[in-house]
């Protein structure tokens, strides 16, 4: 049996942990640049605020209904996520952290227990230790556990737990789940299935394997098995190293000058290098792209990108910044209003398997030492205290974050002071 533990309205719940005064008020969290709604408390959902709604369209409505609006604070959410996962890890040796707010727990060791009781205990412990409400679904496969979790969230808000074990329980769950709500069915597959009369998960499991294979590829075939109670999705305790790493952002304002965009690109390139070093990998290829804003129909549009093969795979910030800026130089054209820039690194290999070149002119030993020190210092201070010249200090490209909450758990000056 597998449990899926999912934090309820995670970002919105995080904002409440250190601000109990908004516990019963509707809360929404915005995407980067304060663009659109990406998380909502139950109260906000009940008001009819839609996922992805652009905030400028609903600002007035929010004011009327006392909706508490926050810029996204990933430092805070990441930190609280770690606390949740640590708490969960105390319950089972086998945990797969699936995303920032979800984890699968292997329940094989607890089959002699009452799984409902045990799940309620897990939920209470997370609430007590971290202050985040979770829902728990328990079932024989990951896909069914997801489904059970969804059911718990919807129908059992008090205990937030749903366990399906017997064939009858599974059957009942499948019957009550609309096809579009199955994990792995998006809008396109949903459309196709509805056209073929498949309305629920129960209808789906009646389909022939051939039909599913032909229309939904092997991915659909796996889903079919999972829904029938046959585990077909691998268990991954350690996240596999990333094959592609991307860092991109919209700018806080439209930019026209190459110098401003170059600073953004340098920052993104550095972030990619940091991510590479963190997973002990090197990349052989860098891509750079810039975008105009396609919502502005009055503007000329331009979406260039460039792929650069580096002579030797690397994770050095200075090298990757250098190549990224070279790329920008080639694709940048004046006369456009740019909205976004990004850097992607790919052809990723483990640090230990880099092919060195005969005519390499870079002092890699020295560079490596520099990067180690760089990472150490910035890890110590928890910010990017040390910076590369190309990153600059311009604020022009930076995010709009007008409603940012404090970093209660990661920045000393933001920690709560309790008066005695």
Unique residue bearing structure tokens 């026209």 = 256
Per-residue DSSP letter, 315: -
**Secondary structure of residue 96 in the 3-state scheme:** strand
Using CA atoms, how far apart are residues 126 and 106, in angstroms rounded to an integer? 17
Using CA atoms, how far apart are residues 382 and 401, in angstroms rounded to an integer? 19
Residue among 24 and 303 whose Cβ is closer to DNA: 303
Unique residue bearing structure tokens 């789906």 = 204
Min. distance of Cβ 417 from DNA in angstroms?
32
Residue among 184 and 304 whose Cβ is closer to DNA: 184
Min. distance of Cβ 252 from DNA in angstroms?
9
Unique residue bearing structure tokens 């919807």 = 154
Min. distance of Cβ 111 from DNA in angstroms?
26
Min. distance of Cβ 113 from DNA in angstroms?
27
Min. distance of Cβ 293 from DNA in angstroms?
6
Min. distance of Cβ 68 from DNA in angstroms?
19
Residue among 191 and 411 whose Cβ is closer to DNA: 191
Min. distance of Cβ 415 from DNA in angstroms?
27
HSE-CB at 81 with a 13 A cutoff on CA atoms is 18
Residue among 24 and 74 whose Cβ is closer to DNA: 74
Min. distance of Cβ 81 from DNA in angstroms?
10
Does an H or E element contain 46, and which? helix 42-46
Using CA atoms, how far apart are residues 333 and 383, in angstroms rounded to an integer? 33
Give me the numbers of helices (H) and strands (E) for the chain, helices first please.
13, 12
Where along the sequence are the contacts to DNA (CB under 7 A)? 31-33, 35-36, 38, 52, 54, 56, 98-102, 146, 182-190, 217-219, 240, 242-250, 254, 275, 293, 295-296, 339-340, 342
**Secondary structure of residue 74 in the 3-state scheme:** helix
Using CA atoms, how far apart are residues 15 and 408, in angstroms rounded to an integer? 10
Residues 6 or more apart whose CB falls under 8 angstroms from that of 95 comprise 85, 88, 89, 103, 104, 105, 106, 237
> CA 339 from chain center: how many Å?
22
Min. distance of Cβ 297 from DNA in angstroms?
10
Torsion sign, CA atoms 275, 278, 279, 285: positive
For the chain, the distance separating the N- and C-terminal CA atoms, rounded to the nearest angstrom, is 48
Residue among 117 and 217 whose Cβ is closer to DNA: 217
Residue among 42 and 293 whose Cβ is closer to DNA: 293
Residue among 25 and 254 whose Cβ is closer to DNA: 254
Distance (Å) of CA 210 to CA 124, 183, 199, 207, 217: 44, 20, 19, 8, 10
Residue among 57 and 155 whose Cβ is closer to DNA: 57
Is 313 in contact with 349 (CB distance < 8 Å)? yes
Residue among 85 and 118 whose Cβ is closer to DNA: 85
Residues 6 or more apart whose CB falls under 8 angstroms from that of 214 comprise none
């Amino acid at each position: 049996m597998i449990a899926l533990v999912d934090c309820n309205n995670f970002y919105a719940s995080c904002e409440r942990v250190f601000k109990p005064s908004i516990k019963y008020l509707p809360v929404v969290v915005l995407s980067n640049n304060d663009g659109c709604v990406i998380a909502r408390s139950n109260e906000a959902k009940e008001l009819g605020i839609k996922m992805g709604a652009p905030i400028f369209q609903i600002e007035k409505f929010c004011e009327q209904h006392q909706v508490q609006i926050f810029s996204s604070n990933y430092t805070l959410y990441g930190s609280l996520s770690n606390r949740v996962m640590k708490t969960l890890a105390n319950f089972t040796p086998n945990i797969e952290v699936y995303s920032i707010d979800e984890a699968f727990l292997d329940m094989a060791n607890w089959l002699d227990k009452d799984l409902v009781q045990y799940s309620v205990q897990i939920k209470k412990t997370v609430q007590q230790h971290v202050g985040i409400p979770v829902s728990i679904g328990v079932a024989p496969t990951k896909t069914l556990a997801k489904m059970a979790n969804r059911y718990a969230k919807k129908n059992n808000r008090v205990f937030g737990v749903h366990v399906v074990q017997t064939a009858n329980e599974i059957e009942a769950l499948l019957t009550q789940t609309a096809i579009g709500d199955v994990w792995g069915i998006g809008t396109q597959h949903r459309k196709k299935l509805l056209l073929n009369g498949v309305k629920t998960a129960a209808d789906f499991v009646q389909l022939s394997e051939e039909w599913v294979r032909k229309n939904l590829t092997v991915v659909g075939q796996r889903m079919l098995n999972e829904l029938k109670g046959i585990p077909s999705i691998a268990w991954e305790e350690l996240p596999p190293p990333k094959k592609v790493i991307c860092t991109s952002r919209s700018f806080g304002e439209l930019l026209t000058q190459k110098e401003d965009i170059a600073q953004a690109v340098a920052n993104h390139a550095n972030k990619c290098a940091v991510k590479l070093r963190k997973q002990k990998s090197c990349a052989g290829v860098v891509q750079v792209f810039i975008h105009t804003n396609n919502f502005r129909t009055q503007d000329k549009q331009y979406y260039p990108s460039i792929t650069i093969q580096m002579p030797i795979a690397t994770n050095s910030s200075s090298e990757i910044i250098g190549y990224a800026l070279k790329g920008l130089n080639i694709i940048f054209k004046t006369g456009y209003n740019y909205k976004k820039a990004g850097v992607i690194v790919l052809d990723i290999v483990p640090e230990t398997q880099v092919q060195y070149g005969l005519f390499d002119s870079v002092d890699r030993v020295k560079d490596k030492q520099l990067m180690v020190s760089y990472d150490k210092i910035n890890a110590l201070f928890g910010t990017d205290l040390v910076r590369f010249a190309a990153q600059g200090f311009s604020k022009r490209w930076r995010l709009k974050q007008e409603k940012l909450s404090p970093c209660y758990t990661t920045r000393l000056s933001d920690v709560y002071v309790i008066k005695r």
